[in-house]
Amino acid sequence: MSFVRKAGNFVTGTARMAFLGGNRVYYAWLLLLAVCITQALFAYAHQFERGLISTNMRDSVSWGFYIGNFTFLVGVAAAAVLLVIPAYVYNWKPIKEVVLFGEMLAVAAIVMCLLFVLVDMGRPDRFWHLIPGIGHMHLPSSIMAWDSVVLNIYLVINLSVASYLVYCAYYRIQYDRRIVVPLVILSIPMAISIHTVTAFLYNGMASRPYWNSAILAPRFIFSAFCSGPALLLILFQILRKVSAFEIKDEAIHKIAELMAYAMGFNLFLFGAEIFKEYYSNTHHLVYYQYLFRGLHGTASPIALYAWTSIAFSIISFFLFLIPKTRRMPLTMNIGAVMIYLSVYIEKGIALIIPGFTPDTLGQVYQYVPSAIELRVAAGVFGVGFLLFTLMVKVSVSILFERGNQTVHA
Amino acid sequence: MPAPEPPANGYTRRDSVVLGFFALAAAAMSTGCATDKLALDEFVQKHFKDLSGDELKDRLAQMEKRYSEEYGKSVKVSATPPLPGVLFGYALDLSRCIGCRRCVYGCVEENNLSRDPQTHWITVLEMDKETGVDLRHADAYYDHETVPHPGKFYMPVACQHCENPPCVKVCPVQATWKEPDGIVVIDDDWGIGCRRCLAACPYGARRFNWGKPSIPPDELNPNTEYLGNRPRQRGVVEKCSFCLQRTRKGLYPKCVEVCPVGARKFGNLLDPDSEIRYIIENKRVFILKDELNTQPKFFYYYGL
Cα angle: A16, vertex A17, A18; to 5 degrees: 90
Residue of chain A minimizing CA distance to B125: A361
Average the pLDDT over each of A81-85, A229-233, B136-140 and give the range with the smallest value: A81-85
Contact A216, A109 (CB under 8 A): no
B268: helix, strand or coil: strand
Smallest Cα–Cα separation from B208: which of B186, B229, B238?
A: B238
Q: Which amino acid makes up residue A295?
A: L
Chain B residues lying within 8 Å of A206, measured CB to CB: 166, 202, 292-293
Mutate to test the interface with A, among B114, B192, B290 (most CBs of A within 10 A): B192
Shortest Cα–Cα distance, B220 to chain A (Å)? 23
Chain A residues lying within 8 Å of B237, measured CB to CB: 122
Residue of chain A minimizing CA distance to B292: A206
The answer, yes or no, to whether the previous bond of B231 is cis (omega within 30 of 0) is no
pLDDT tens for each residue of B4-43: 443 444 333 444 444 455 555 555 554 444 456 667 777 7
Q: Which of A142, A168, A286 sits opposite B171 (nearest CB)?
A: A142
At A409 the pLDDT is 30
B175 touches chain A (CB under 8 A): yes
pLDDT tens for each residue of A243-302: 888 788 888 898 899 899 999 999 999 999 999 999 999 999 999 999 999 998 999 999
Q: Which of residues 16 through 35 in chain B touch A, CB cutoff 8 A?
A: 18, 21, 25
Smallest Cα–Cα separation from A56: which of A384, A315, A374, A394?
A: A374
pLDDT > 60? residue A363: yes
At A129 the pLDDT is 93
Chain A residues lying within 8 Å of B169, measured CB to CB: 141-142
CA distances A51 to A34, B210, B234, Å, are 25, 6, 7
Shortest Cα–Cα distance, B141 to chain A (Å)? 9
Distance CA B289, CA B138 (A): 15
Q: Which of B7, B18, B43 sits opposite A134 (nearest CB)?
A: B18
At A86 the pLDDT is 72
Mutate to test the interface with A, among B15, B139, B178, B210 (most CBs of A within 10 A): B210
Predicted complex ipTM: 0.91
At A402 the pLDDT is 63
Q: What is the pTM of this model?
A: 0.91
B103 touches chain A (CB under 8 A): no
Residues of chain A with pLDDT > 70, as a percent, come to: 95
Task: Tell me if B3 and A358 make a contact (CB, 8 A cut-off).
Answer: no
Distance CA A207, CA A212 (A): 8
Cα angle: B64, vertex B70, B71; to 5 degrees: 90
pLDDT tens for each residue of B161-183: 999 999 999 999 999 999 999 99
Contact A220, A273 (CB under 8 A): no
